[in-house]
Structure 1
Amino acid sequence: MDLITINMPCQDIYVCKGKGCFLVEGLCLYQFSMESYLFTIPGIILQDACPLRLWVAVLDPPEDATLTLDNLPVLLYEVVDKLNDAGMGSRAELFLAAHGQAGHVVSVYTEAVPGTVRGLLLLGTSHHSSISLVTFPVGVMTIVGELDGLTRLTRIASTVQALEAASSRDPGLIIRNPLVILDGSNHAIFIGDDLPSPLHEFDIDPEVDQLEVLREAVDLISLFITNTLQEPTEAVKRARETFARSFEHAQNITEPIRALQNLTQGEMKSYWVKMAQKWLSGLEGKESSLLEVDSFVTTSEIVPLPPTLGIEDGINYVITFSDVTYPGRIDTPQSDNIATAQTAPLEIAARMIGPERIQKYLLNTTIAQNYTCKDLNYASFQTAYHTASKKARIRFDHVDRYVSFQPDIVKDSEIEWEHTPLKVEVVGHELQVTGISYKTINDENLSPYAGLYFCKLLPPERAMEWIYVDYIRRNAVPT
């Protein structure tokens, strides 16, 4: 593995021939992804910004090979050995950094051998889904562009949620594991917007001067390194204040997304299905207070249960049972599907009770309006749109594409309904959403299956992901 030396005023940056990483005396920083020369600019800026003496090396797997848990340890050993020969010294602290999909491999590796790594930098990427920042053995800095079309803001919102919950018990967690969202920046900020196809098409156009924001990001990286090593003292104090502000900023940006994540499913219940059942009942005004709804989310191991209607402590109750379907896991260490991977659930299979059965049970009530799955899905999209930030709505409104809601596809049996997914397809410049419904007649002989109304619903969270990510990508084809 040959080293190319790029002379600097005070320090040297070493680039390992190949594609993708970074190095530092006093500490080492590695980065994996893309062509190696693309990462020399952040490395040079980092050396200039950091008060510590750094050896920065750019590392990459062999030509035409991807980074894996098998070749990563070998690559690290080889480059550290070369740097020691160049004068770095064996006492250097090692910081690993990863851009894009490599983040999953590097985070799994670091968790497995924490004693060899002092800190981890995730640039335009996030932890593997099986890993918790709360229990991770070393400090982790996550830096993601607000307009990263590959590492979706919707995915980062889940990280914010986890850190928020854990920091209530350990306030120092957000300082040791800083999370930074760069306003108006995309996935390519760390490599000069030179993403290869098709990644380039899946990214979102930036709204800021990328080099200027890159300098700000690298300054924060330097702050993370110095804070982790607890030197110099003035940097440690600045880190505490800076990272607290950056986390508050991340909370504010992701708040609308997190609100809808909790609306779809939270603590084994779905508040969205609860609202849908209330609308479906057709009750309005004072009559709507005659009915309470509780909506549970079941798991795949449980046989689907029909909804129930009854009275408890003088209160009329509908209890519904729903399934929430999520995309298949794509973030295995070797996965290369980061560009197309959704994070939001695909559909909610909601088993509800129709308005006729409710009216017959309550007596002397009126079905003010008959709703369909189409109406409920339109309401889901509108809820997402009006919950989104003003900036997100403006971006979405500027895209020359539309969302339409088609009449329901009505199935003749519950089995058919269960096996027919919510229909989402792109037709020309239009995204068409079609709900799948199944209804039974309100015949007492069918009890408890009388008067049922089943819907395949659009999760508000999925609509929010269209608004924040899919619809404003360069290819602008939501899924």
Structure 2
Amino acid sequence: MEETMEGDGVRSPWTEHGQRIMSAVLDKYSEYLTVTDTIFETLLKFSSSKPHVVLEQKMANTTTSTHIYPNPNRLSVGSEPITSKEMGTKFKSREAIMELLIPLGVEFGDEVSCRDINQTRGRSSTFHPDEVKLTGSGWLEAHLLYSITDAGLEVKSPSLPTDVNVGFGLGGMHYCKLLTPTRALEYLIIDSLVGTQP
């Protein structure tokens, strides 16, 4: 199967890149962090998945989870987007990774939000602060706000961050709904040009 930034059916390079951004490990320490993603085809399996991080050989080996929400209009020829609707991504939080790597002298940048990962470089795009959810079911049921207005593209990401001290294996998580790379590209090369002068 062909690999794209969204994924190849097994893993998502975009989610792996997103985890690196979310961790805020400074570039000069990037070798201290490994990320391996798993794509879950069904929402049921994705909803029960949890990312993990473990320190092995002075490296934070991190696993992430992804579910790509297909676009029901993907066969449409009209003006509706045809690319994947959004990506559900489950990351380990910056704090969870810091707990393992700060004792090794690894330095971190500022805290990161889902909005920071979603931001694309282009014109007429507004990325609103995350819509923080309080429960896993609330996050699973929420969807990325993706709206094209006269002012341009507007994006708002549902997120679910948890404190590292939360019990039952739920601590140190940061779940995000992300704009897929193909949807961002579709906006940049098609939708952002609609109604503009040639």
TM-score (ref. length: structure 2): 0.87
Q: More helix per residue: 1 or 2?
A: 1
In 2, the alpha carbon distance for the partners of 1:299 and 1:313 equals 32
In 2, the alpha carbon distance for the partners of 1:356 and 1:269 equals 24
Q: Does structure 1 residue 321 correspond to structure 2 residue 60?
A: no
Match among 117, 121, 138 for residue 376 of structure 1: 117
In 2, the alpha carbon distance for the partners of 1:360 and 1:290 equals 13
Query: Partner of 2:45 in structure 1?
Result: 302
1:345: Cα distance to partner?
Answer: 1.1
Q: Does structure 1 residue 434 correspond to structure 2 residue 156?
A: yes
Query: 1:427/1:434 Cα in 2 relative to 1: closer, same or farther (>3 Å)?
Result: same
1:474: Cα distance to partner?
Answer: 4.2
Query: 1:468/1:302 Cα in 2 relative to 1: closer, same or farther (>3 Å)?
Result: same
User: How many residues matched?
Assistant: 193
Q: For residue 349 of structure 1, what is the amino acid of its counterpart? A: G
Query: Partner of 2:99 in structure 1?
Result: 360
- Contact kept, 8 Å, 2:38 with 2:64, in 1: the verdict is yes
Q: Does structure 1 residue 347 correspond to structure 2 residue 47?
A: no
Query: 1:318/1:366 Cα in 2 relative to 1: closer, same or farther (>3 Å)?
Result: same
In 2, the alpha carbon distance for the partners of 1:303 and 1:464 equals 25
Q: Deviations over 1:135-164 (max 9, x none)?
A: xxxxxxxxxxxxxxxxxxxxxxxxxxx9xx
Query: Partner of 1:450 in structure 2?
Result: 171
In 1, the alpha carbon distance for the partners of 2:142 and 2:53 equals 26
In 2, the alpha carbon distance for the partners of 1:342 and 1:430 equals 15
Extract unaligned runs of 5+ from structure 1: 1-161, 166-260, 332-336, 386-396
Q: For residue 307 of structure 1, what is the amino acid of its counterpart? A: P
In 2, the alpha carbon distance for the partners of 1:263 and 1:330 equals 18
In 2, the alpha carbon distance for the partners of 1:451 and 1:316 equals 14
When the two chains are superposed, the root-mean-square deviation of aligned CA atoms in Å is 2.4
SS in 2 for 1:453: strand
Extract unaligned runs of 5+ from structure 2: none
SS in 1 for 2:129: strand
- Contact kept, 8 Å, 2:93 with 2:174, in 1: the verdict is yes
SS in 2 for 1:299: coil
- Contact kept, 8 Å, 1:280 with 1:355, in 2: the verdict is yes
1:473: Cα distance to partner?
Answer: 3.0
- Contact kept, 8 Å, 1:308 with 1:448, in 2: the verdict is no
Query: Partner of 2:34 in structure 1?
Result: 292
1:358: Cα distance to partner?
Answer: 0.7
- Contact kept, 8 Å, 2:46 with 2:65, in 1: the verdict is no
Query: 1:330/1:374 Cα in 2 relative to 1: closer, same or farther (>3 Å)?
Result: closer
Match among 22, 26, 30 for residue 280 of structure 1: 22
Q: For residue 439 of structure 1, what is the amino acid of its counterpart? A: P
TM-score (ref. length: structure 1): 0.38
Q: Deviations over 1:369-415 (max 9, x none)?
A: 2111111111xx22xx5xxxxxxxxxxx6xxxx11111111111111
Query: Partner of 1:64 in structure 2?
Result: none
Q: For residue 326 of structure 1, what is the amino acid of its counterpart? A: P
In 2, the alpha carbon distance for the partners of 1:270 and 1:293 equals 10
In 2, the alpha carbon distance for the partners of 1:457 and 1:357 equals 21
- Contact kept, 8 Å, 1:294 with 1:320, in 2: the verdict is yes
1:299: Cα distance to partner?
Answer: 1.1
Q: For residue 294 of structure 1, what is the amino acid of its counterpart? A: T
SS in 2 for 1:417: helix
